Structure 1
Amino acid sequence: MKKAPIALAIASFLSSPVVAAENNTDIETIKIIGSTEEARQVAGSSALIDEEQMRVEVPTDINQLMKTLPGVYVLEEDGFGLRPNIGIRAANAGRVSKVTLLEDGVMMAPAPYSNPAAYYFPTTMRMSSIEVLKGAPLLRYGPQTTGGVLNLVSTPIPEQAVSGQVLAQWGEFSSNDIHAYVGGTQGAWGFLLETVQRESNGFKEIDRSNRDSGYDIQDYTAKLSFDQGPHHVLFKAQYSEEISNETYLGLTDADFAEASNRRYGISSIDQMDNSHNGFSLAYGFDVSDDIKLNAVAYRNEFKRDWFKLSGGGSLVSAANQGDLQAQGILDGTQDAQGLAYKHNSRAYESYGLELSAQWQLGAHALEFGGRDHTDEMDRFQPVEIFDQVNGSLVYQSTVSPSGGDNRIEGADATSLWITDNWQVNEALKVNLALRYEDVSSFRNQYSEAARTSTPAFRSNSSDEWLPGASFTYNLNDAWQVLAGVHKGFSPLGGGATENQEPETSINYEAGLRYQQQNTFVEAIAFYSDFSDTTQLCSIATPCDNGAESGTYVLGESVVQGLELQAQHTFAAGKFLIPVDIAYTYTQGEISKDNAVSGLMDGDRLNDIPEHTANVRISLDNNAGWINYLNFKYIDSMCVNVGCNNSSAAFDETESLFVTDAVSRYELNTQTSVYVKVENIFDQQAIVARTPDGARPNKPQTVWMGIDYKF
């Protein structure tokens, strides 16, 4: 499982973003799509949240941004988006584990191959744009190649000699955020220093406790670039830490209906404590105008200890069924012995080295590349035992970790790819892609805390060739058709056994685009056929068999649907009124009876809403005053596969419709003020039931802010 010493030394020391799919020489702007205009020409479906939308909305919750895009599903959890659950098309949402998550082109999941659940997610406030790429072109990236790629583009180094920004906002629940940076470019050198500081008391009230339900987040980033002649270098360092009084324990449905923002007192000592640091170095060399070489590398480390109640879901489930003793324990009126609070402590590392070359050969834009990657997760999780006495928690003992709480998992992966963007003629553009993934994973599980005995060992090896092809064809100046097909792949993770096969799928899409002056319309149908649909099990998103680690194979399934986008700008006197619409219809279900899992043809897949929609209406007076209204709808979702054919209660979330607004006014060229109201009509619903009960979205929240640029 070990790499050669030279490769290991290089990969451990270096680190960096993947070079842009666009063939430019600006190594600092690492994008996989580029601009809104380019997104509307990709030979595959794509979407972009641009710098203007980010500037006006000042988003802090990635979930709310993702709801504005077609083909993207969000399963909310804490109301703040601290640990997002995002799915794209056929990739379900749990911890973003089946989406390739990138920041500036670098994989950002703590252990993308062995443990892809994204318990770390980059701070949204320091991002300048968000890109989502779907369809066959996503084969340039990996390892998750079924649903889509999510790339977060961070604040770029300013082009001026010295410039920067200080943004501060204050909101309800004693919330305040600061985003500040300074940077510039002088000759060949450029730099950026940036920080985000966030804190809040949270919107939930904890029974019998003086502790709030909020968070404290600090994030720091530094960049240094050198760009002269054919040489392009970028170094990036990032560090963040978070303390949040978050829990997995939700509410019974009856308690949710009475007070949706309540938290039970037995969760009062639950707390997440984590830190992340990442380092990256990228080097680009322009051999000629037509040939460019790139070497990039990255190293990310993430440590977390989520101290929280274990097994609280069984109490909620029993109380939902009318168990008065379980309800009394939740309410604090019933004493309880042996409550287990686990230090869900894990340390992750991932590092890799990537080489690529772009070659413009006539009508062919070729790219060749490869990546050598290693990641690992060390889980060492002692359990503290408490009794509940007269509504208070009393410490009793600590249990040393063993078995599933004491293990190391890891993976080594080699990826190779070749892509060709071929401009066949003026009307036809073809994208060809071939990717190869070779993955070896392992797990060492120990029976005692000292780890002196021989561990229980399991491993898995798999390799897949992943071909894809897509095209766009311009019928005329306004109309364009597109279509594509590619093979999707999802690695099994560190808990896989030798005989398990990775999830693969064949994915199709076909659509039509119309673009003329101030109007853009796109309709794309998609169809994904899975041979072995696989769930990645975690405590946050347990598999249907109850497992909280490893994988669970559901069998054959089909996910199909339709994505619609439309944008038109109206004029009303001096005002411009852009209107953006996004809608997705999705049907995801088991396609063949499975005697092993007990699932039947027609059983709905979990975490996939049938309908999602977003309408954003802007009002811009072209004189420094701009207003947004955002209407977001997400349908109910199955908590477990087959909720449509089950009589079990509490197996489905509720649909939700929320309206947000923001009004921003420029006092002068440097200073703007704004007011935001999230969830204007204070609509709350059961947006999630996993892992341990019903949980709400954030209630109505008012923000005021000031943005100063220099």
Structure 2
Amino acid sequence: MKKTLLMRPLSLSVLAALTLPALAEGDETSNIERVSVIGTEQQLSATAGSVTRLDEQALAKFEYDDIGRILAQVPGVNIRSEDGYGLRPNIGFRGVTPERSKKINIMEDGVLIGPAPYSAPAAYYFPMTSRMTAVEVTKGPGTIQYGPNTVAGTLNLVTRPVPLSGEGMVDLSLGGDGYAKAHAYYGDTQGDFGYLLEGLRVQTDGFKELDGGGDTGFEKNDLMFKANWDLSSQSVDQLLEVKASYADEVSDETYLGLTDGDFAVNPLRRYAATQLAEMDWQHSQLQLTHHLSWQSLDVTTRAYRHDFERSWEKLNRFTSSQGGNVPSLLSVLTDPEQYWDYYQVLTGERDASIQQILVLGDNAREYYSQGVQMDGAMPVTLAGVTHNLEAGVRFHQDEIQRNHTEQNFLMTDGQMVATGESVRATTTNLETTRAWSVYIQDRIELGDWAFTLGTRGEDIDGYYRNRNRKPNAGDDWQRKEHRIWLPSASALYRVDEQQSVFAGVHKGFVPTSPLQDKRIEPEKSLNYELGWRYRNGASQAEVVGFFNDVDNLKESCSFSTAASCASDGDLDQDFNAGAVEVYGLEASINSYMRVTGELTLPWSVVYTHTQSEFKQGLDSDFDLWGEVDPGDEVPYLPDNVLTLTVGVAASDWRVTLLVNHTGEMREAAGQGVVLSGKVVPSHTLVDLSASYDVSANGQLYLKLDNLLDEVEIGSRRPYGARPTKPQQAFVGYKYHF
């Protein structure tokens, strides 16, 4: 491989193309196959938009397995906690509802990684962050390079590159609640051929205490293989790479939480009715990538295929063999005194009658996602002005097949016992989408100014089929299409060598899935930002104000929102809420103080302030909204999020403290729904990490998650109060060779 190909910096366009490595200063092991949607520090400084990159060194400080804890270090992020481990995270950027991260683009190595990002964007699969070497967040006008969702932003996870020479690592860790992690990789490049093999296993017994005993934890495995071939000639630099991976999870996870009263007594309790809950999934991916660099042209082509299959046994609802109305699980846990008999059945204190039958559902689903995408960049000089052109095209196809079933159980002597009735199918449908997307962007530099104009086009054809319909019911395929252009514009002015100001505007878009009635409109918005950036060596600061003018807010019905429509047969149905405004301020600063020749005090502050309001009244059946008055706020959006990180570092040891404060969040926007007037209280988490280099290659590390052991309500959805993770201690040893 030519050294010039390895070390040449990229234009910003190739950050979208992911053509070349994002090389940190002094990085001797990165190679061409490393992928990044942000790039080098120099490119970060020149970006007219809000971008954040956490590199491998930043990720290693706390050895987090939970993406929510990692993203606490990124401004503009709002998280809804659910299980305490981040198994199925809920991530939003700049005020979009975080529910199942469905409104942001989630990518791995620049490719959409969600199970079915067009047909069913809820991210029930999320890659294991422990094996990532970088986490990158793009917000603002740069989002139009990715899509299909352009309202909020893009999260890109970067996997380990094939090393340029033989190297490996073994990382072993033990912790409280039966936690164990084993992580290893080895790779090498000999001549024109390089390879990498990486494996990771994480397991725990869980921190919740199940009535009657039993595990409440999980086991996760992840295996990845990469191989690349250098095909370069004298005139053309080329690299061909294959990536294949397999991952699985078995977790004893439930949607059922606690009443507020029980939470106050023991927030870690789990009711007996959750004893059969289990998520079991498998994920595989295959990706073929070709990089080409010829003179000033850079092109990256990718073909990819992802398969995801899951089975989730969990408590769905109550039913009665005599018919009639029964309360929802959320109603029982919100007002247990009114539904005392049902509450005692959930806790196992009372045997169930035929009016209190427990319905367990298996939300079995099969997904695939596949496509081909090509991204390229080339500078062109016209009339003495250099245009840094970048463009891309992608054909994508994905599908979700739902095979949901339910089975009736009775609570008998604290045990869930099947009634003997047959398992019945509930939701058996199919959604599939074919989408063409293109983008083009031009960046022009004129003195201290840089201007960027771009647009993205989405051509989406979605199809929905209810497989329960009889063959003679006519055309059983329902079609929905979207044709839209999403323009963007930004400008940056360099005040001096350290400072710049920037501004941008772009059109936001979130499509509806194929099953939606044609009267349901996609979410559209105009998004504005204005920012100031300072970079001077190790000191960096950025302040960005943003305003999202949403023309038509869209949300969807799901079990994870505890929406009653899910039990009424309208699972994944979308709802519209009209105009909403979201606005706020993002700020970050990081630097260090040198105490002695080798002792330094690194520190950082990340702050986000967000406000939102519905612009019109609304009377909705959707459980996150209800009866909304103009001025009501969007749920699960804290006013303030603050993260402070302070450390002490020497040549062979380091200690870091992270304090994260999240303000209170509304559980529902308006009135007339079960959680009207309820809020998730503000809470503060403190994490501590320390490491010591016992040798040139070996490192011992210790960390304490939730140092103060403050357990708070993370949310009351889906069904009842859910705790944040209590204090957990870890000790580990990492050896590089």
TM-score band by shorter chain is: over 0.9
* 1:424 matches 2:446: yes
Give the Cα–Cα distance (whole angstroms) in 2 for the partners of residues 380 and 387 of structure 1. 24
- 2-side partners of 1:553 and 1:106: how far apart? 29
Partner of 1:249: 256
Match of 2:171 in 1: 167
Match of 1:275 among 272, 282, 289: 282
What are the equivalent positions in structure 2 for 1:198-347 lying under 5 Å apart? Answer: 198-209=202-213, 211-229=214-232, 230-286=237-293, 288-311=294-317, 314-321=328-335, 322=337, 323-336=339-352, 337=354, 338-347=357-366
* Letter paired with 1:480: S
Structure 1: distance between partners of 2:392 and 2:148:
14
Gap regions ≥5 residues in structure 2 = 1-14, 24-30, 319-326, 622-626
Residue 589 of structure 1 aligns with an amino acid whose one-letter code is: E
Q: CA deviation at 1:317?
A: 2.3
Given that residues 21 and 36 in structure 2 are in contact (C-alpha distance below 8 angstroms), is that contact kept between their aligned partners in structure 1?
no
1:576 aligns with 2:579: no
What secondary structure sits across from 1:382 in the alignment?
strand
Q: Percent identity?
A: 32
- The 1-side partners of 2:189 and 2:16 are apart by 22
Q: Judging changes above 3 Å, is the alpha-carbon distance between structure 1 residues 66 and 215 closer, same or farther for their aligned structure 2 residues?
A: same
Preserved CA contact (<8 Å) 2:670 2:676: no
Q: Which residue of 2 aligns with 1:707?
A: 734
Counterpart CA distance in 2 for 1:27 and 1:418 is 24
Q: Measure, in 2, the Cα distance between the counterparts of 1:62 and 1:114.
A: 24
Please report the TM-score for the alignment, with normalisation by the length of structure 2.
Answer: 0.89
SS in 2 for 1:257: helix
Q: Tell me the distance in 2 between the aligned counterparts of 1:138 and 1:315.
A: 39
Superposition deviation, residue 400 in structure 1: 5.0
Within a 5 Å distance, the mapping from 1:165-564 to structure 2 comes to 165-209=169-213, 211-229=214-232, 230-286=237-293, 288-311=294-317, 314-321=328-335, 322=337, 323-336=339-352, 337=354, 338-362=357-381, 363-397=386-420, 399-402=422-425, 405-425=427-447, 427-447=448-468, 457-542=477-562, 548-564=571-587
Q: How far did residue 90 of structure 1 move?
A: 3.4
Change (3 A) 1:696 1:35: farther
Equivalent residues of 1:382, 1:398 under 8 A apart = no
State the 1:217 CA deviation. Answer: 0.8
Hey, what's the Cα distance between the residues in 1 that align with 2:563 and 2:484? 25
Alignment of 1:84-103 (within 5 A): 84-103=89-108
Give 1:525 deviation, angstroms: 0.3
**Whole-angstrom distance in 2 between the partners of 1:667 and 1:454:** 72
User: What amino acid does structure 1 have at the position aligned with 2:641?
Assistant: T
Matched residue type, 1:627: V
**CA distance in 1: counterparts of 2:258 and 2:677, whole angstroms:** 11
The answer to whether 1:567 aligns with 2:590 is yes
Displacement, 1:218? 0.8
Cα deviation per residue 1:299-345 (whole Å; 9 max; x = unaligned)?
10000000111027923522432132122112211222421111110
Shift of 1:517: 3.9
Residue 670 of structure 1: aligned partner: 697
State how far apart, in whole Å, the 2-side matches of 1:648 and 1:308 are: 22
CA offsets, 1:131-160, max 9 Å, x none? Answer: 000110111111111111000001111111
Structure 1 residues 148-163: aligned runs within 5 Å: 148-160=153-165, 162-163=166-167
The 3 A distance-change label for structure 1 pair 512 and 24 is: closer
Distance 1:669 1:104, change over 3 A: same
State the Cα distance separating 1:385 from its structure 2 match.
1.2
Alignment coverage as a number of residue pairs:
686
The answer to whether structure 1 residue 635 and structure 2 residue 663 are counterparts is yes
Residue type of the partner of 1:429? A
Which amino acid in structure 1 is aligned with residue 664 of structure 2?
Answer: S
Q: Deviations over 1:396-419 (max 9, x none)?
A: 24555555x111111111101101
* 225-234 vs 272-281, which moves further: 225-234
CA distance in 2, matches of 1:497, 1:356: 34
Return the letter of the residue paired with 1:31.
S
Structure 2 SS opposite 1:310: strand
Distance 1:278 1:648, change over 3 A: closer
Choose which of 607, 619, 632 in structure 1 pairs with 2:636. 607
For the residues of structure 2 that align with 1:636 and 1:385, how far apart are their CA atoms?
Answer: 38
Against the structure 1 CA distance between its residues 304 and 479, is the aligned structure 2 distance closer, same or farther, given a 3 Å change threshold?
same
Aligned partners of 1:74, 1:24: CA distance in 2, in Å? 28
Contact between 1:511 and 1:525, CA under 8 Å: does it hold in 2? yes
Kindly state the Cα deviation for residue 115 of structure 1 after the two structures are TM-superposed: 0.2
Inter-CA distance 396–437: structure 2 relative to 1 (3 Å threshold): same
CA deviations on 1:26-57 (whole Å, 9 max, x unpaired) are 55111000245533431100111111111222
CA distance in 2, matches of 1:370, 1:283: 15
For the residues of structure 2 that align with 1:445 and 1:399, how far apart are their CA atoms?
22
Residue number in structure 1 paired with 2:3: none
State the match for 1:6 in structure 2.
Answer: none
Shift, 1:457, TM fit: 4.3
What root-mean-square deviation, in Å, do the aligned CA atoms of Structure 1 and Structure 2 show? 2.2
Amino acid across the alignment from 1:513? R
SS of the residue corresponding to residue 346 of structure 2 reads helix
Whether the 8 Å contact between 2:275 and 2:416 is mirrored in structure 1 is no
- 1:392 is aligned with what amino acid? Q
d(CA) in 1 for partners of 2:674, 2:722: 22
Tell me if the contact between 1:113 and 1:411 (Cα under 8 Å) persists in the aligned partners: yes
Does the 8 Å contact 1:36/1:48 carry over to 2?
Answer: no
Partners of 2:271 and 2:346 within 8 A in 1: yes
TM-aligned CA deviation for residue 23 of structure 1: 8.4
In structure 2, do the counterparts of structure 1 residues 117 and 696 end up closer, same or farther at CA, with 3 Å as the change threshold? same
Alpha-carbon displacement from aligned partner over 1:640-662 (angstroms, at most 9, x marks no partner): 2237x999667321211010010
Quick one: structure 1 residues 324 and 499, their matched pair in 2 at CA, closer, same or farther if it must change by over 3 Å?
A: closer
Which amino acid counterpart does residue 96 of structure 1 have in structure 2?
S
Q: CA deviation at 1:500?
A: 2.6
Identify the range of structure 1 (472-481 vs 462-471) with the bigger mean alpha-carbon deviation.
472-481
Aligned counterpart in structure 1 of residue 112 of structure 2, from 107, 111, 114: 107
- What letter matches 2:389 in structure 1? L
Amino acid at match of 1:569: Y
Q: In the superposition, relative to structure 1, how do residues 400 and 464 fare at CA in structure 2: closer, same or farther (>3 Å)?
A: farther
Ranges in structure 1 where 5+ consecutive residues have no aligned partner = 1-16
Q: Distance in 1 between matches of 2:119 and 2:720?
A: 28
Per-residue deviation, residues 468-527 of structure 1 (Å, max 9, x unmatched): 011211111232101000001101113212233211100000011223344322111000
TM-score w.r.t. length of structure 1: 0.93
2:461 is matched by which residue type in structure 1? S
What displacement does 1:226 show?
A: 1.1
Instruction: Say if 1:379 and 1:588 are closer, same or farther in 2 by CA, change over 3 A.
Output: same
Q: Is the 1:486–1:508 Cα contact (8 Å) retained in structure 2?
A: yes
1: CA distance, partners of 2:72 / 2:297:
39
1:77 equivalent among 70, 73, 82: 82
Report the Cα distance in structure 2 between the residues aligned to 1:118 and 1:646, rounded to whole angstroms.
Answer: 26
C-alpha distance in 1 between matches for 2:110 and 2:682: 34
Letter of the structure 2 residue corresponding to residue 682 of structure 1: D
Shift in Å, 1:544: 8.6
Q: Give the secondary-structure state (helix, strand or coil) at the position aligned to 2:489.
A: strand
Q: 1:669-688 maps to which residues of 2 (within 5 A)?
A: 669-688=696-715
Quick one: structure 1 residues 514 and 271, their matched pair in 2 at CA, closer, same or farther if it must change by over 3 Å? same
1:455 offset after TM fit, Å? 7.9
Show the counterpart of 1:620: 649
